Amino acid sequence: MKRLTLHAVGVTRVVPPHKYPLTYDPTNVFARILRGEIPAKVLHDDEHCMAFYDVTPQAPTHFLVIPKRAIATLSDATTADESLLGHLLVTAANVAKQLGVAEDGSRIVINNGAGAGQTVFHLHVHVLAGRDLAWPPG
């Protein structure tokens, strides 16, 4: 079986490649936040999504926007999720405006699969702002 080697967080881990659709694990940390089982610093909460600060910020402002629908990765989204995906992006932009970080620019990231650095398998949009962000990303 082909395996991917990750160096994203300074350690080498070997992870199996994904087969889609990925089985959604309802015990993942974001599902637990949605159920209120573990706390989060919530910035936005509506019928379809929630935004909260990342617990390990990679920039002065770093928050996440997650759907309430159980979708493991972006590659597991379907055409039925199109309006939801748009809502996640608009919410990301609106929360950035509310926090006053929109004017200087922000980086919107979706790590799609373990090979791209995804560690929590509930779809999420990262929003990073407040420092210079290099391109290309690592």
Q: Which residues bind ligand 5GP (CB under 6 A)?
A: 29, 38, 40, 52-56, 111, 117-120
Selected catalytic residue, list 62, 122, 124, 126: 124
CB of 98 to ligand 5GP, least distance (A): 18
Nearer to ligand 5GP, 55 or 90 (CB): 55
Query: Which CB atom, from 50 or from 79, has the smaller least distance to ligand 5GP?
Result: 50
Quick check: is 44 catalytic? Answer: no
Q: Say how many Å lie between the first and final Cα of the chain, rounded.
A: 26
Minimum separation from the CB atom of position 2 to ligand 5GP (A): 21
Minimum CB distance to ligand 5GP smaller for 103 or for 137: 137
Q: Are the C-beta atoms of residues 4 and 114 closer than 8 Å to each other?
A: yes
51's CB contacts (< 8 A; 6+ apart) are: 42, 43, 44, 45, 63, 64, 65, 66, 91, 92, 95
Q: What is the SS3 assignment for 27? A: coil
CB of residue 41 vs ligand 5GP: minimum separation in angstroms? 7
| Backbone dihedral angles phi then psi of residue 124, each to the nearest 5 degrees | -150, 150
* Catalytic machinery residues: 124
